[in-house]
Amino acid sequence: MSNSIPATSLQTHPGTNVTVVDLFDRTESLKPLWLQVEGFRRAIYPIMQNAADGVHLICYSQGGLICRALLSTTPDHNVDTFISLSSPQMGQYGDPHHRDLYLNNSNFLALLNDERLHPNATAWKKNLLRIRKLILIGGPDDGVITPWESSLFAFYDDNETVREMKSQPVYLLDTFGLKTLDARGDMAFYVVPGIAHTQWHSSRTVYDTCIAKWLT
């Protein structure tokens, strides 16, 4: 569509090489997430190799988690700015009363967050920290991401109260690099009201306010 992020970015940054990686749509999005990560890696890695000055990643919804996993598991990536657009970075519909079940059964997010011990944690953290900037975008009228603050690395506590990123154990313990990125001054947060989940990637307001400045 004419007001999509790719079309708009070509208007505001003429001459930019823009590639839309459209994989695992609709029911395909239900496939195992690590399988999807590998599919996106096959599509994106050649683009990285041909971009001497690096690339920016704009990843929407579940794609934001897939992109974070891709970055964490790619030791030689050259991503400059990772823009996470209304993505459930701390999970979705989580039950804070059964955290033990999550830790024992999650083969994706608990590993990615280094909440479940695994031998690659140190390397994954180092890989993610290769990025120059992490941009987090979300809003209270999303209507799908629950809680919507998950897009900003906030989540429920045991009392079902949403706690901000800096109160999360993954931040306090710097399990995968959030605290390091924050200390570097390399994170930016945008809360945009009035945007439903399916509108994020086509909103000119979101693009102009949250995205355009980082695509340089």
Catalytic residue among 29, 186, 197, 202: 197
* pLDDT > 70? residue 110: yes
Annotation says 61 is catalytic: yes
In which band, very low, low, confident or very high, does the pLDDT at 1 lie, cut at 50, 70 and 90?
very low
Q: What is the CA radius of gyration of the chain?
A: 17
* pLDDT > 50? residue 140: yes
Annotation says 13 is catalytic: no
Contact 24, 12 (CB under 8 A): no
54-214 homologous superfamily: Alpha/Beta hydrolase fold, catalytic domain (3.40.50.1820)
* pLDDT > 50? residue 158: yes
**Would you state the structure tokens that stand for residue 144, as one six-digit string?**
């799908």
The more confident residue out of 15 and 59 is 59
Helices 62-72 and 121-128: angle between axes, nearest 10 degrees: 110
Residues 86-111: what's their mean pLDDT? 84
CB atoms within 10 A of CB 119: 6
Catalytic residue among 61, 72, 86, 87: 61
So what's the pLDDT on residue 10?
A: 78
Catalytic residue among 142, 151, 201, 203: 142
So what's the pLDDT on residue 198?
A: 96
* pLDDT > 90? residue 34: yes
Contact 134, 187 (CB under 8 A): yes
Spans of all domains in the chain: 54-214
Q: Is pTM beyond 0.75 here?
A: yes
* pLDDT > 60? residue 200: yes
Contact 55, 108 (CB under 8 A): no
DSSP output for 137-182: EE-TT-SSSSSGGGGGT-EE-TTS-EE-GGGSHHHHTTSSSHHHHH
Annotation says 197 is catalytic: yes
